[in-house]
Amino acid sequence: MLPGYAVLSLSASRRVSRNLELFAGVQNLTDREYFVGTLPTTIGTPRLVNAGVRVRFAPRTAAVK
């Protein structure tokens, strides 16, 4: 049986314009080691930080004849 655990993760995003969004996130904020399998070497991921820019391209509209 695996011991209990809790993982703290945060994420945020901000729309800058209609087609542009900034985002950031942190997984396992406390950088705690935790087991995800019954083998002693099967541990969860360490702290992971990611950020980026999401661009959405508007679809082209068909020309009206």
- 28 domain-assigned: yes
Count of structural domains within the chain: 1
- 65 domain-assigned: no
Question: pLDDT digit string (tens) for 10-53?
Answer: 999 999 999 999 999 999 999 988 888 877 678 888 999 999 99
DSSP H or E stretch at residue 34: none
Sequence-distant (6+) residues with CB within 8 A of 51 are 22, 23, 24, 25
Cβ atoms 25, 9 nearer than 8 A: yes
Report d(CA 47, CA 25) in Å as an integer.
Answer: 11
Tokens 């945060």 -> residue: 10
- 20 domain-assigned: yes
pLDDT at 58 (0 to 100): 75
Say what the pTM is. Answer: 0.69
Domain extent, residue 43, equals 10-55
Give the neighbor-by-neighbor strand order of the sheet with 48-55. Answer: 10-17, 20-27, 48-55
